[in-house]
């Protein structure tokens, strides 16, 4: 699925890289390839979604996956979890869900005459928050501390969450009755918002061939461990980002706030631009993309490949933009076209 990039290291802006680091990336990139191949046994197509799931694993960044029903969003996350020796919890978000159902609560035990903490299902490595926008704001806000600080406070005690910890949430963009829009603070805590599209004709034929039966054989086996993922994260941290690449990332984010400075007279369409968290997440995601292509350095294409998913949910548009049928994706694409590539 992911091919190693054989570009010479003498490219402009690329340093003389540590050969040991390159070898480590080549070796520890193999489990990610096995993981992608294992997911492909069940999931037909959706290469972009699988790639973004791996980026999330490698960076610890949470994912918001949006698409109409039936596009295998839940299947993709559940299959990924089965391919890892890790704890997995699927949480079906509903309007009557309570924060205690998610993070846990204190339970009184009469025999001991004391309160004890009963931990909730959020204490797992991989969390699937299915239809996250169906839960009320008080439940969504209960996720904020877990997603940002990797910890949960129950009563007067604070408990760390396991490592790795990753929230992958799904939402349906078309059925809005009985849903609660995610607050901006929570949207910003998702590293990426991935929009899932319909499969191609050939992919749909393959889906028909695999799935049109009353019984399905679960072929997915665990091919990697949380320890391998944590080790791969250490290598992602070491992927080199040239100064000009860093400036390019900052320019992309700044253009969402001060677009006229970059020759884009679209201020009337943008209510709020991306936060500094977008700069951090775009850099991490670009480094993970380079790692998946077995490179020890980031190229401008790594940034462009991932920028839409990192920025689309962080650019808040105005009513005027909606009236002119402009979306945040339109604005981000205009920025990508306008900002000079190093």
C-beta of residue 68 within 8 angstroms of C-beta of residue 172: yes
C-beta of residue 171 within 8 angstroms of C-beta of residue 64: yes
Instruction: Provide the pLDDT for residue 8.
Output: 42
| Helices 300-311, 243-254: crossing angle, 10 deg rounding | 30
Report, as an integer, the average pLDDT of 39-68. Answer: 86
Q: Half-sphere exposure of residue 319, counting CA atoms within 13 Å on the CB side?
A: 0
C-beta of residue 286 within 8 angstroms of C-beta of residue 303: yes
3-state secondary structure 44-63: CCCHHHHHHHHHHHHHCCEE
Report, as an integer, the average pLDDT of 100-116. Answer: 83
Residue 108 pLDDT level (bands cut at 50, 70, 90)? confident
Structure-model confidence comparison of residues 7 and 5, the more confident one: 5
User: Residue 161: is its pLDDT beyond 70?
Assistant: yes
C-beta of residue 87 within 8 angstroms of C-beta of residue 127: no
Instruction: Provide the pLDDT for residue 216.
Output: 65
CATH class of 1-14+240-342: mainly alpha
> Sign of dihedral through CA atoms 248, 19, 281, 224?
positive
User: Residue 280: is its pLDDT beyond 90?
Assistant: yes
User: Residue 249: is its pLDDT beyond 90?
Assistant: yes
34 burial via Cβ count (<10 Å: 0-12, 13-18, 19+): middle
User: Residue 6: is its pLDDT beyond 50?
Assistant: no
Please report, for the chain, the start and end positions of each structural domain, with discontinuous segments joined by +: 1-14+240-342, 18-239
Report, as an integer, the average pLDDT of 275-304. Answer: 93
Q: What is the pTM for the complete model shown?
A: 0.85
User: Residue 13: is its pLDDT beyond 50?
Assistant: no
Of the ranges 151-165, 186-200, 234-248, 261-275, the best mean pLDDT one? 234-248
User: Residue 15: is its pLDDT beyond 90?
Assistant: no
User: Residue 290: is its pLDDT beyond 90?
Assistant: yes
What number of helices (H) and strands (E) belong to the chain?
14, 11
Residue 21 Rama label (left phi>0; alpha psi -120 to 50; beta): alpha
Q: Which of 259, 256, 260, 261 is nearest to 273 (CA)?
A: 256
110 burial via Cβ count (<10 Å: 0-12, 13-18, 19+): exposed
Q: What is the pLDDT of residues 69-94, one digit of tens each?
A: 777 777 888 888 888 888 888 888 88
Indicate the average pLDDT of the chain.
Answer: 84
Q: What is the pLDDT of residues 16-26, one digit of tens each?
A: 557 888 888 88
User: Residue 208: is its pLDDT beyond 50?
Assistant: yes
Instruction: Provide the pLDDT for residue 302.
Output: 94
Percent of the chain with pLDDT over 90: 23
3-state secondary structure of 196: coil
Structure-model confidence comparison of residues 251 and 174, the more confident one: 251
3-state secondary structure 158-172: EEECCCCCEEEEEEC
User: Residue 7: is its pLDDT beyond 70?
Assistant: no
3-state secondary structure of 320: helix
Is the CATH number of domain 18-239 3.40.50.300? yes
């Amino acid at each position: 699925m992911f091919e190693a990039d054989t570009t010479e290291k003498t490219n402009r802006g690329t340093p003389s890289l540590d050969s040991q680091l390159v070898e480590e990336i080549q070796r520890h990139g193999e489990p990610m390839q096995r993981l992608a191949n294992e997911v492909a046994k069940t999931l037909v197509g959706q290469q972009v979604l699988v790639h973004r799931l791996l980026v999330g694993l490698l960076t610890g960044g949470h994912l918001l996956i949006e698409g109409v029903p039936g596009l295998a969003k839940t299947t993709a996350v559940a299959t990924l979890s089965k391919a890892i020796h890790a704890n997995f919890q699927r949480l079906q978000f509903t309007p009557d869900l309570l924060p205690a159902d998610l993070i846990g609560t204190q339970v009184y035990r009469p025999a001991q005459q004391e309160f004890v903490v009963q931990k909730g299902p959020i204490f797992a490595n991989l969390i699937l928050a299915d239809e996250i926008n169906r839960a009320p704001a008080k439940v969504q806000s209960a996720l904020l501390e877990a997603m940002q600080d990797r910890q949960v406070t129950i009563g007067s005690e604070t408990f760390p969450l396991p490592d790795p910890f990753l929230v992958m949430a799904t939402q349906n963009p078309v059925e809005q009755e009985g849903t609660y829009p995610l607050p901006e603070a929570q949207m910003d805590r998702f590293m990426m918002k991935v929009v899932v599209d319909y499969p191609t004709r050939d992919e749909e034929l393959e889906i028909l061939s695999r799935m049109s039966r009353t019984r399905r054989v679960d072929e997915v086996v665990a091919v990697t461990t949380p320890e391998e993922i944590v080790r791969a994260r250490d290598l992602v941290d070491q992927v080199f980002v040239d100064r000009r690449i860093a400036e390019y990332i900052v320019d992309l984010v700044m253009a969402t706030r001060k677009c006229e400075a970059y020759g884009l007279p679209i201020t009337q369409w943008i209510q709020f631009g991306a936060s500094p968290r977008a700069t951090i997440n775009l850099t991490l995601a670009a480094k993970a993309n380079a790692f998946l292509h077995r490179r020890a350095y980031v190229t401008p294409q790594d940034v462009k490949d991932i920028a839409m998913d990192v920025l689309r949910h962080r650019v808040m548009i105005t009513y005027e933009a909606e009236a002119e049928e402009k979306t945040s994706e339109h604005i981000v694409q205009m920025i990508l076209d306008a900002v000079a590539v190093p």
